[in-house]
């Protein structure tokens, strides 16, 4: 367990919370569900109850082998071994108890991936970044997430509901896709925030571009930042 804890893997052990997550996913008979991180499989069979198909993937070979054996009789389930962020399959619903170390990568991947909606569990501090309203508390991931999704906090989950127990509490979020962001746009937004103390005029210079805007990122709305990032991308 020590190795997995270092990788940010804390496995949900509460069946009641697992049922709440699956219920909030609103899975219908025509839905293809993608579960990133099979883990101990607490969500997997519940996801299969109403879905057309469930694709569950994990990078851990031992966990993959156990799930493959344990859930072999579920006809609408495909257990896979590999990196879910490299998966090209089509799905309508995303569900994941995200490893803390992969949360930012997951949000950026989802922003670039077409799907309908999802339910994700993340570290409380990360959820606060996604839901931040104050410009000073926003990060690049706040701008990316709020442009890509409607985000709603659904459930607080205490550390005692995991094994091994993390040092922090978690939050379950419901996300509904509203815009798809291309990878190059995501890259520009991240880079803009690495210069957040500079004026927009000076940020543009970092990209070899020009503008007369002397405001800073904290003075702008999320949509205004997205528009500036698109302007930077123009040849």
We report the CATH number of the domain holding residue 49 as 3.40.50.150
pLDDT bucket at 89, cuts 50 / 70 / 90: confident
Q: Is the peptide bond before 73 cis (omega within 30 degrees of 0)?
A: no
Among 160, 179, 198, identify where a domain stops: 179
- Does one domain contain both 105 and 44? yes
- Does one domain contain both 112 and 196? no
Q: What is the mean predicted confidence (pLDDT) over 37-46?
A: 96
Sequence length of the chain is 235
**Whether 54 contacts 44, CB under 8 Å:** yes
Coil, strand, or helix at residue 113? coil
Q: How far is CA 31 from CA 77, 149, 155, 160, in A?
A: 12, 19, 23, 32
- Count other Cβ atoms within 10 Å, centred on residue 97: 26
Q: Is the peptide bond before 164 cis (omega within 30 degrees of 0)?
A: yes
- Does one domain contain both 94 and 16? yes
Predicted local distance difference test score (pLDDT) of residue 235? 62
- Does one domain contain both 193 and 94? no
This prediction's pTM: 0.93
Coil, strand, or helix at residue 14? coil
Number of domains present in the structure of the chain? 2
Q: Please, what is the Cα angle at 43 between 57 and 52, to 5 degrees?
A: 75
* Percentage of the chain modeled with pLDDT above 90: 90
- Does one domain contain both 62 and 145? yes
Distance CA 11, CA 27 (A): 22
Coil, strand, or helix at residue 50? coil
- Does one domain contain both 82 and 189? no
Distance CA 30, CA 103 (A): 28
- Does one domain contain both 207 and 91? no
- Does one domain contain both 122 and 221? no
- Does one domain contain both 110 and 190? no
- Does one domain contain both 66 and 122? yes
- Count other Cβ atoms within 10 Å, centred on residue 95: 27
pLDDT bucket at 225, cuts 50 / 70 / 90: very high
Q: How far is CA 133 from the centre of its chain?
A: 19
Secondary structure E strands in 59-134: 77-81, 93-97, 117-123
**Whether 201 contacts 211, CB under 8 Å:** yes
Q: What is the pLDDT of residues 109-166, one digit of tens each?
A: 999 999 999 999 999 999 999 999 899 999 999 999 999 999 999 999 999 999 999 9
Among 179, 196, 211, identify where a domain stops: 179
Q: Which domain, by its residues, includes 190?
A: 185-233
- Does one domain contain both 89 and 29? yes
- Count other Cβ atoms within 10 Å, centred on residue 69: 9
Among 158, 179, 200, identify where a domain stops: 179
Provide the mean pLDDT of the chain.
94
Q: What is the mean predicted confidence (pLDDT) over 87-96?
A: 93
In the predicted model, is pLDDT for residue 8 greater than 60? no
- Does one domain contain both 14 and 34? yes
């Amino acid at each position: 367990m020590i190795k997995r804890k270092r990788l940010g893997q804390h496995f949900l052990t509460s069946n009641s919370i697992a049922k709440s997550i699956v219920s909030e996913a609103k899975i219908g008979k025509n839905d293809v569900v993608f579960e990133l991180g099979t883990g101990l499989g607490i969500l997997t069979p519940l996801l299969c109850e109403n879905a057309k198909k469930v694709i569950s993937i994990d990078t851990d070979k031992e966990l993959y082998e156990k799930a493959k054996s344990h859930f072999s009789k579920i006809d609408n389930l495909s257990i896979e071994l590999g990196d879910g962020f490299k998966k090209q399959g089509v799905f309508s619903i995303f569900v994941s108890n995200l490893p803390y170390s992969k949360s930012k990568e997951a949000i950026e991947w989802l922003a670039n991936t077409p799907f309908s909606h999802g339910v994700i569990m993340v570290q409380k501090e990360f959820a606060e970044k996604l839901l931040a309203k104050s410009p000073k508390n926003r990060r690049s991931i706040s701008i990316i997430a709020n442009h890509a999704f409607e985000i709603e906090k659904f459930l607080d989950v205490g550390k005692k509901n995991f094994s091994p127990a993390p040092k922090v509490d978690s939050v379950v979020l419901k996300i509904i896709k509203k815009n798809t962001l291309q990878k190059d746009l995501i890259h520009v937004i991240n880079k803009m925030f690495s210069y957040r103390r500079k004026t927009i005029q000076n940020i543009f210079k970092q990209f070899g571009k020009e503008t007369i805007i002397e405001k800073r990122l904290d003075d702008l709305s999320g949509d205004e930042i997205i528009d500036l990032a698109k302007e930077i991308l123009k040849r």
